Amino acid sequence: MKVINFGSLNIDLVYRVHDFARPGETISATDFSRYAGGKGLNQSIALARAGAPTIHAGMIGKDGGFLLDLLRESGVDCSEVAVDPHAPSGHAMIQVADSGENAIVLFPGTNHRIAPDAVRRTLARAEAGDILLLQNEISAIPEIMREAAKRRMRIFLNPAPMTDAVPDYPLELADTLIVNETEWDAVRTHRLPAGIHILKTLGARGAVYDDRIRVAAKPVAEVVDTTAAGDTFIGYFIAELLRGQSIETAMDTASSASAWCIRRAGAAVSIPWRRDL
């Protein structure tokens, strides 16, 4: 069995500034960095580094080649990532002030140009029992879910970022909904389909599955950066399920991987390999 992650691929453009630019103002940045980003990219890296056979599906522009390089270095099959020569990759312009606060402008770019024919072509590689992983940073999510269900895939949905569109997705097709506390507060006000499993990640308070299996967070002496901790948890949790582990064991391993992640700075670069654990 394998995982097909239909997910976002972003370029993060980070500008260090003394303070945020105000309307009509031009300011100088003190530093600039470019990083690979996107929840889809992070979760595919976590899956592959955990040992799961992983295919990433999505779209980039001509500017996104280095994103594929990073995925391939982690062992991800990128043959289902299309390149649109006429549109930019998804990207975020991030101002980071001396205060530590940030201001972000997100442009979805090619992440929102996924067409139905690409969905059908990609999922033709799926077999019954394979896992489809989705976040909420790309277009065509309802179509992807319906096509995956036809092929009897197990659908894991991480509806981040949470939007008003999520309750209208065909959630009855999903096997598992993976949410943090904020996302759960938003989605719980709607009627959820019977039988859907709920995995809630609770940060320093661990994680809980269907309100019956709870795993504590691993102790960490110093938290350096929580970026990608949730994505790491999701990737390792699903990878452990593919290895035949129980829900509780999968959650425990995922918790260990997240703890390793937050002791290091950065997003994708902080995601551990299985050997690191």
**Beta carbons of 58 and 7 less than 8 angstroms apart:** yes
Handedness of CA 204, 265, 185, 145 (dihedral sign): negative
Identity of the residue numbered 212: R
What integer pLDDT is reported at residue 274 of this predicted model? Answer: 95
Domains of the chain by range and CATH?
3-276 (3.40.1190.20)
| Per-residue confidence (pLDDT) for residue 100, from 0 to 100 | 73
pTM recorded for the entire structure: 0.93
Instruction: Read off the pLDDT of residues 136-185 as tens digits, 9 standing for 90 and up.
Output: 999 999 999 999 999 999 999 999 999 999 999 999 999 999 999 999 99
The per-residue pLDDT for 269 is 87
Low-confidence ranges of the chain (pLDDT < 50): none
DSSP, residue by residue, 86-155:
TSPPEEEEEEEETTS-EEEEEE-GGGG---HHHHHHHHTT--TT-EEEE-SSSS-HHHHHHHHHHTT-EE
Label the pairing between strands 90-97 and 77-84. unpaired
- Closest to 104 measured CA to CA, from 12, 18, 10, 224: 12
The residue assigned the tokens 């029992």 is: 129
Query: Which of 89, 152, 147 is CA-nearest to residue 118?
Result: 147
Give the pLDDT of residue 134: 98
The DSSP bridge pattern shows strands 31-37 and 10-17 to be antiparallel
Per-residue pLDDT, 47 = 98
DSSP β-bridge partners for residue 236: none
How high is the pLDDT of residue 176?
A: 98
